[in-house]
């Protein structure tokens, strides 16, 4: 029935009916539709329309039809009039409804909470003022409801997006973004779980630590993007050969681990299975990896730790990982592209390393370090230089030789503090010694051994130059000893650093020549004018089984051609001294002349111009 009277009871009934039509549905469109249909019917309208402003659109187009019953006839024809009417409310020009005549029809526009308007169209008749007012609270309620529903909708969709983002985030936190393998964090968790399972159910598992050999060379020579592709392909190969239940993780740059789950009730069975898997890993990586025009050969070094183990350091994930890592280092030492199981002997070695590292950490502050200097003599036995060498005496461990702790310091980063201490102390002494030198002295420098990790620091040149600049001796009085492996890792960067040092008048020499790659192709590229032939050649000098003398001769000829001076280290015998004197080497260093000595002893020798036992 359409309302035509303005009797109060009728109006209240109309209001109630419409309010009921607003309903509680949270589906906005459904709710609006019910209301509008009821209004259309009860008021005998020609049409009814709901418009909403979309502020992302230009002004006149910003009025968007939300719902029309029937259809949207009015929209196309009279949009501008309606827009103007609704603008009236939007600009808060007063009132909450407006009437206009369009053609024969009366159009009644209600403010829809300033976000749009509700348009009621009556054909060839007018809206009664009482009915117009009766509708105001109903339409306000409808607008509130619309707002509420829209807000709810927005919140729901935001929550959905947040949930999705949360899920992506959670997934990313577990995965390595490059290879999509589970990452180090996941690995820790999984390994702990596997170890406790193995303990609880009395079976064995194994952790396999896979490190790619010389991966750094790929990155350095072909660039990181090729390196990344290579890692992805390696990850894929490793994944394809994993058994169900075994998991592959990427835990560092070129480091992958496998957890082999439940591989036997007896340790021997577990070892056998782990051996088979390790062999498979080596085989699967043996096929070259083709990336564009490159065919890359990559090999792994694998360390395996079976768990639970019977070593006394506890079966936690930290220890098992360290065991596998130690075994992997052994595999590297054994020539790479092979695997090694962690064993009791390595266990002792690993523990010893830990103890040394622990004490070394406090060595500087406990004042346990000192420096000694080993003279280098010329053919006449005159001291022309000295090499500084570190010494460490610890109350508990006694005297520890550099060969035992320099590597540990290197691997644990302690070398940086140590090197700083060494450089500072050598420079301090060099300053004192220089002041005491006779102006006719042949003594021309003190050398400092530079460790690889120290050299690769970005600020190496800057920090060492600063210490040497502060030294009261001229910069040329200090020489730095680099070994081949320091320089070859990234030859271009090394050359740049050496050139920068050179500009500051800081020179260097190549130490232990002959023990590394000793490749002639790099020797001529490096700005080197002085090298030390490694003592292993001199020790082996009279061995009948190899061609040491021939090799030493070759080195001497080659360096002469290149204009490089040679020092021989490890000269212990008169015959050796004689041989090198005849060869006209630049300098000789060894127990035959002098053992490393404290600074005051060197000062005394140099200032007294003592001449060593002169070679014949």
Binding site for ligand C2E (CB under 6 A): 374, 388-390, 401-403, 406, 422, 449, 451, 481, 511-512, 535, 569-572, 589-591, 596
The binder of 590, among Mg ion, ligand C2E, none, by C-beta within 5 to 8 A per type, is ligand C2E
Q: Which of residues 510-549 bind Mg ion (CB under 5 A)?
A: 511-512
- Beta carbon nearer to ligand C2E, 211 or 511: 511
In the complex with ligand C2E, the residue whose CB is nearer, 169 or 591, is: 591
Question: 389 touches which of Mg ion, ligand C2E, none (CB within 5 to 8 A by kind)?
Answer: ligand C2E
Q: What whole-number distance in Å separates Cα of residue 569 and Cα of residue 566?
A: 10
CA-closest candidate to residue 65, choices 77, 80, 75, 78? 75
SS3 per-residue string spanning 296-318: ECCCEEEEEEEECCCCCCCCCHH
CA atoms within 13 A on the CB side of 68: 14
Pick between residue 69 and residue 372 the one whose CB is nearest to ligand C2E.
Answer: 372
Shortest distance, position 532 Cβ to Mg ion, whole Å: 5
* Strands 255-260 vs 247-252: parallel, antiparallel or unpaired: antiparallel
- Express the helix, strand and coil content of the chain in percent, nearest 5 each: 50, 20, 30
Cβ closer to Mg ion: 340 or 481?
Answer: 481
CB of 226 to Mg ion, least distance (A): 36
Q: Toward Mg ion, which CB reaches closer, 449 or 494?
A: 449
Contact partner at residue 326 from Mg ion, ligand C2E, none, CB < 5 to 8 Å by partner kind: none
Per-residue x/- track, 231-270, Mg ion (CB under 5 A): ----------------------------------------
- How many residues bind to Mg ion according to rule CB under 5 A? 4
Task: In whole angstroms, give the CA distance from residue 164 to residue 176.
Answer: 19
Which strands, in side-by-side order, build the sheet including 63-69? 63-69, 47-53, 116-122, 105-111, 97-102
322 binds, among ligand C2E, Mg ion, none (CB under 5 to 8 A by kind): none
Q: How many CB atoms lie within 10 A of CB 353?
A: 18
* Closer of 260 and 376 to ligand C2E (Cβ): 376
Residue position matching structure tokens 């060969």? 403
Which residue in this structure is represented by tokens 């169209």? 121
Q: Which does 403 bind (CB under 5 to 8 A by kind): Mg ion, ligand C2E, none?
A: ligand C2E
Q: Kindly state the tokens that stand for 367.
A: 């004042």
**How far, in Å, CA of 360 to CA of 414, rounded?**
8
Q: How many of the other CB atoms lie within 10 Å of CB of 159?
A: 10
- Cβ proximity to ligand C2E: between 130 and 573 the closer is 573
What's 46-111 look like in SS3?
CEEEEEEECCCCCHHHHEEEEEEECCCHHHHHHHHHHHHHHHHHHCCCCCCEEEEEECCEEEEEEE
**Nearest distance from C-beta of residue 531 to ligand C2E, angstroms:** 12
Instruction: Name the residue nearer to ligand C2E (CB basis): 131 or 422.
Output: 422
106 binds Mg ion (CB under 5 A): no
SS3 call for 67:
strand
Least distance (Å) from ligand C2E to the CB of residue 405?
9
Contact present, 222 and 294 (Cβ < 8 Å): yes
Q: Are strands 205-212 and 383-394 parallel, antiparallel or unpaired?
A: unpaired
* Other beta carbons within 10 Å of 418: 22
Site mask, Mg ion, residues 452-491, x = CB under 5 A? -----------------------------x----------
**For strand 255-260 and strand 97-102, is the pairing parallel, antiparallel, or unpaired?**
unpaired
406 binds, among Mg ion, ligand C2E, none (CB under 5 to 8 A by kind): ligand C2E
**Nearest Cα to Cα of residue 64 among 52, 55, 81:** 52
- Give whichever of 284 and 369 is closer to ligand C2E, judged by the CB atom: 369
Say whether 509 sits in a helix, a strand or coil. strand
Closest separation in Å from C-beta 441 to ligand C2E: 23
Q: Which residue has the tokens 């619309």?
A: 146
572 with 538: CB under 8 angstroms? yes
Check binding of 449 to Mg ion (CB under 5 A). Answer: yes
Closer residue to ligand C2E (CB): 205 or 590: 590
Residue 591: name its binding partner from Mg ion, ligand C2E, none (Cβ under 5 to 8 Å by kind): ligand C2E
Q: How far is the CB of 273 from ligand C2E (least distance, A)?
A: 41
Note whether 419 binds Mg ion by CB under 5 A.
no
Of Mg ion, ligand C2E, none, which one does residue 71 interact with (CB within 5 to 8 Å by kind)? none
Which CB atom, from 32 or from 606, has the smaller least distance to ligand C2E?
A: 606
Out of ligand C2E, Mg ion, none, what residue 479 binds, judged by CB under 5 to 8 A for its kind, is none
CA–CA gap between residue 50 and residue 65 (Å, rounded): 6
Closest distance of CB 454 from ligand C2E, Å = 7
Buried b (16+ CB within 10 A) or exposed e, 42-63: bbebbbbbbbbbeeeeeeeebb
Question: How far is C-alpha 387 from the chain's CA centre?
Answer: 38
**Residue 75 binds which entry of Mg ion, ligand C2E, none, CB below 5-8 Å type-dependent:** none
Shortest approach of ligand C2E to residue 451 CB, angstroms?
Answer: 4
| Beta-carbon count within 10 A of 392 CB | 22
The DSSP 8-state label assigned to residue 35 in this structure reads: H
CB of 213 to Mg ion, least distance (A): 26
Stretch that binds Mg ion, among 81-89, 321-329, 442-450, 460-468 (CB under 5 A): 442-450
Identify which range of 72-80, 82-90, 443-451, 488-496 contacts Mg ion by CB under 5 A.
443-451
- Measured in residues, the chain has a length of 616
What residue ranges bind Mg ion (CB under 5 A)? 449, 481, 511-512
């Amino acid at each position: 029935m359409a309302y035509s009277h303005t009797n109060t009871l009728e109006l209240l009934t109309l209001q109630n009916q419409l309010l009921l039509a607003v309903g509680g549905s949270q589906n906005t469109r459904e709710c609006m539709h019910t209301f509008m249909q009821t209004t259309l019917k009860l008021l005998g309208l020609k049409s009814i329309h709901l418009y909403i402003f979309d502020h992302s659109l230009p002004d006149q187009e910003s009025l968007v039809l939300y719902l029309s019953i029937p259809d949207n006839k009015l929209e196309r024809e009279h949009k501008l009039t309606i827009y103007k009417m609704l603008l009236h409310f939007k600009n808060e020009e007063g009132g909450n409804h407006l009437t206009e005549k369009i053609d024969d029809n009366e159009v009644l526009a209600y403010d829809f909470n300033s976000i749009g308007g509700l348009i009621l169209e009556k054909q060839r008749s007018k809206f009664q003022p009482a009915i117009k007012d009766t509708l105001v609270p109903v339409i306000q309620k409808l607008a509130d409801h619309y707002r509420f529903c829209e807000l709810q909708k927005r919140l729901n969709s935001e929550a959905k997006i947040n949930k999705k983002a949360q899920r992506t985030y959670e997934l990313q936190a577990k995965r390595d973004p490059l290879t999509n393998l589970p990452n180090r964090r996941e690995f820790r968790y999984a390994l702990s779980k596997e170890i406790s399972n193995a303990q609880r159910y009395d079976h064995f598992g194994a952790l396999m630590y896979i490190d790619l050999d010389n991966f750094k060379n790929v990155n350095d020579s072909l660039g990181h993007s090729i390196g990344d592709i290579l890692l992805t392909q390696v990850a894929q190969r490793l994944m394809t050969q994993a058994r169900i239940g075994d998991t592959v993780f990427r835990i560092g740059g070129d480091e992958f681990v496998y957890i082999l789950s439940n591989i036997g009730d007896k340790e021997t069975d577990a070892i056998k299975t782990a051996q088979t898997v390790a062999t498979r890993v080596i085989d699967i990586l043996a096929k070259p990896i083709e990336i564009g025009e490159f065919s890359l050969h990559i090999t792994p070094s694998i360390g395996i730790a079976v768990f639970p183990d019977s070593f006394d350091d506890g079966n936690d994930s930290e220890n098992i990982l360290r065991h596998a890592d130690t075994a992997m280092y052994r595999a590297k030492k054994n020539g790479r592209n092979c695997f090694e199981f962690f064993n009791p002997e390595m266990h002792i070695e690993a523990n010893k390393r830990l103890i040394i590292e622990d004490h070394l950490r406090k060595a500087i502050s406990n004042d346990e370090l000192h420096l000694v200097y080993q003279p280098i003599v010329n053919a006449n036995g005159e001291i022309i230089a000295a090499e500084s060498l570190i010494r460490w005496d610890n109350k508990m461990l006694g005297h520890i030789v550099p060969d035992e702790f320099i590597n540990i310091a290197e691997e644990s980063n302690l070398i940086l503090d140590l090197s700083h201490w060494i450089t500072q102390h050598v420079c301090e002494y060099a300053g004192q010694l220089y002041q005491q030198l006779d102006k006719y002295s042949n003594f021309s420098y003190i050398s400092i051994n530079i460790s690889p990790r120290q050299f690769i620091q970005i600020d190496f040149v800057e920090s060492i130059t600063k210490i040497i600049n502060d030294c009261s001796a001229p910069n040329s009085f200090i020489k730095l000893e680099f070994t081949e492996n320091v320089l070859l890792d990234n030859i271009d960067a090394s050359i740049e650093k050496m050139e920068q040092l050179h500009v500051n008048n800081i020179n260097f020499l190549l130490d232990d020549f002959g023990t590394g790659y000793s490749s002639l192709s790099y020797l001529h590229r490096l700005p080197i004018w002085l090298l030390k032939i490694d003592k292993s050649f001199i020790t082996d000098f009279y061995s009948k089984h190899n061609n040491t003398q021939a090799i030493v001769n070759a080195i001497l000829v080659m360096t002469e051609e290149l204009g490089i001076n040679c020092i021989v280290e490890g000269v212990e015998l008169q015959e050796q001294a004689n041989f090198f004197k005849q060869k006209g080497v630049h300098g000789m260093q060894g127990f035959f002349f002098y053992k490393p000595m404290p600074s005051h002893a060197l000062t005394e020798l140099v200032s007294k111009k003592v001449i060593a036992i002169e070679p014949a």
